[in-house]
């Protein structure tokens, strides 16, 4: 028990270091959910760390993803994995990620302390995410992804599957959600895509600096833009038209995210806040991009701490009222481009 308590203390500390957003939202969840959700996020962060290494070839990344899954499933020694991956990880990676890899044994100890349903949900997420990211890393370049179908698939393996994991955890915790499980699982994929597309659009030029683009080539070609030739700060009308279309698609996915959130009983205000804060921060980020489509780095469209505080306050005022939340969302997305490209699950 003492070792598990130390691992949980490390988990809370690490969340603060690797994700300001999740460090803010996870504590809003009911206590019985916090450990599992926090642990699921750190497992995903380890998989992300492998993907993000700027010096590691994709073949080696695929190998490490497979080894990490074996660790999560209890088939390999987490200490040996941590030592070997730590030695292989690029010095260019942030210290917080190096520290997380060193503490893989503590993270996985929490995973193995969870109940069977929770463990199954987390393992499934790591399996799909790890295999999917390895697949996309093989072809990552400034040429971008082929089309929207490829972007949809990428968003699924890095974020939609996380939504499915969270839904499994939520449904197990709150029996009233059981009858909505299938619909929530479908909406969760769209929820994840809305958040991931927001991050992709915000980070388009930071990714470009790393030699990677996740933009759908066919969409930009339809507007007369060769995405591989675009540079940070571009004022090319064709590029900005493609960017505007993607903003509208992301906003549509966030509409589905709100539908998902309103299926959570109004009395579960912590679960609602966990979702609402993520949705609101994504909407504000999309608005920042729409206001400044010629931005040249993610820092130019990052929302302020003051905006985050306003999100928290508004959510706590409105989280029990479906009607007020729907009205607030409509007001929030009003400045964004309209799109009808996203099907309602």
- Both 214 and 305 in one domain: the answer is yes
Model pLDDT for residues 253-268, shown as the tens digit of each residue:
999 999 999 999 999 9
**Coil, strand or helix at 99:** helix
- Both 53 and 71 in one domain: the answer is yes
Cα-based distances in Å from 274 to 25, 41, 99, 234, 277: 5, 13, 26, 35, 6
- Both 121 and 168 in one domain: the answer is no
- Both 254 and 323 in one domain: the answer is yes
Task: Tell me what pLDDT residue 82 has.
Answer: 98
Task: Tell me what pLDDT residue 20 has.
Answer: 78
Task: Tell me what pLDDT residue 149 has.
Answer: 97
- The burial class, CB within 10 Å (0-12 / 13-18 / 19+), for 179 is exposed
Cβ neighbours of 33 (radius 10 Å): 22
- Both 9 and 110 in one domain: the answer is yes
Supply the pTM of this predicted model. 0.94
Comparing CA positions, the residue from 199, 301, 314, 327 lying closest to residue 253 is: 199
Distance from the Cα of residue 55 to its chain's centroid = 23
- Both 110 and 131 in one domain: the answer is yes
Give the CATH number of the domain where residue 130 resides: 1.10.600.10
Q: Which domain holds residue 282?
A: 143-344
- Both 75 and 13 in one domain: the answer is yes
pLDDT tens across the length of the chain (345 residues): 799 999 999 999 999 888 878 888 999 999 999 999 999 999 999 999 999 998 999 999 999 999 999 999 999 999 999 999 999 999 999 999 999 999 999 999 999 999 999 999 999 999 999 999 988 988 889 999 999 999 999 999 999 999 999 999 999 999 999 999 999 999 999 999 999 999 999 999 999 998 999 999 999 999 999 999 999 999 999 999 999 999 999 999 999 999 999 999 999 999 999 999 999 999 999 999 999 999 999 999 999 999 999 999 999 999 999 999 999 999 999 999 877 666 565
Residue where a domain terminates, one of 81, 111, 138: 138
Residue where a domain terminates, one of 138, 168, 201: 138
Per the structure block, which two tokens stand in for 260? 């998902």
Contact of 109 with 4, CB cutoff 8 Å: yes
Cβ neighbours of 76 (radius 10 Å): 16
Distance CA 277, CA 41 (A): 16
Comparing CA positions, the residue from 289, 148, 128 lying closest to residue 214 is: 148
- Both 152 and 77 in one domain: the answer is no
Tokens 């388009």 correspond to what residue?
A: 204
**Exposed e or buried b for every residue in 147-162, given b needs 16+ CB within 10 A?**
eeebbbbbbbbbbbbb
- Both 95 and 197 in one domain: the answer is no
- Both 219 and 338 in one domain: the answer is yes
- Both 215 and 339 in one domain: the answer is yes
3-state SS track over 118-182: HHHHHHHHHHHHHHHHHHHHCCCCCCCECCHHHHHHHHHHHHHHHHHHHHHHHHHHCHHHHHHHH
- Both 147 and 134 in one domain: the answer is no
Distance CA 139, CA 215 (A): 13
Per the structure block, which two tokens stand in for 80? 């040996």
Model pLDDT for residues 112-162, shown as the tens digit of each residue:
999 999 999 999 999 999 999 988 988 889 999 999 999 999 999 999 999
Residue where a domain terminates, one of 138, 166, 189: 138
**Number of domain units in the chain:** 2
Distance CA 150, CA 136 (A): 9
């Amino acid at each position: 028990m003492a070792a598990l308590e130390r691992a949980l203390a490390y988990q809370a500390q690490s969340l603060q270091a690797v994700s300001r957003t999740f460090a803010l939202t996870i504590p809003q969840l009911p206590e019985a959910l916090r450990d599992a959700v926090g642990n699921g996020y750190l497992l995903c962060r380890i998989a992300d760390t492998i993907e993000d290494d700027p010096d590691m070839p994709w073949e080696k990344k695929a190998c490490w993803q497979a080894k990490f899954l074996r660790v999560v499933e209890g088939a390999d020694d987490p200490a040996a994995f941590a030592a070997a991956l730590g030695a292989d990880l690029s010095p260019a990676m942030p210290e917080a990620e190096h520290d997380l890899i060193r503490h893989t044994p503590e993270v996985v100890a929490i995973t193995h302390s969870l109940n069977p349903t929770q463990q199954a949900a987390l393992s499934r997420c790591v399996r799909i995410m790890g295999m999917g990211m390895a697949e996309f890393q093989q072809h990552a370049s400034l040429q971008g992804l082929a089309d929207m179908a490829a972007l949809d698939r990428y968003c699924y393996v890095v974020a939609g599957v996380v939504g499915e994991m969270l839904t499994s955890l939520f449904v197990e915790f709150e029996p009233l959600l059981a009858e909505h499980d299938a619909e929530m699982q479908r909406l969760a994929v769209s929820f994840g895509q809305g958040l991931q597309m927001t991050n992709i659009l915000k980070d388009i030029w930071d990714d470009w600096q790393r030699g990677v683009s996740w933009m759908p080539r066919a969409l930009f070609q339809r507007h007369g833009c060769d995405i591989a030739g675009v540079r940070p700060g571009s004022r090319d009308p064709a590029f900005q038209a493609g960017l505007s279309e993607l903003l509208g698609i992301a906003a549509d996915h966030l509409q589905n995210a709100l539908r998902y959130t309103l299926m959570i009983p109004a009395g579960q205000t912590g679960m609602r806040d966990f979702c609402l804060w993520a949705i609101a921060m994504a909407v504000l980020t999309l608005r920042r991009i729409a206001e400044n489509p010629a931005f040249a780095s993610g820092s130019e469209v990052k929302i302020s701490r003051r905006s985050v505080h306003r999100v928290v306050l508004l959510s706590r005022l409105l989280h029990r009222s479906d009607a007020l939340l729907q009205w607030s969302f409509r007001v929030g997305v009003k400045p964004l481009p309209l799109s009808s490209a996203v099907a309602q699950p």
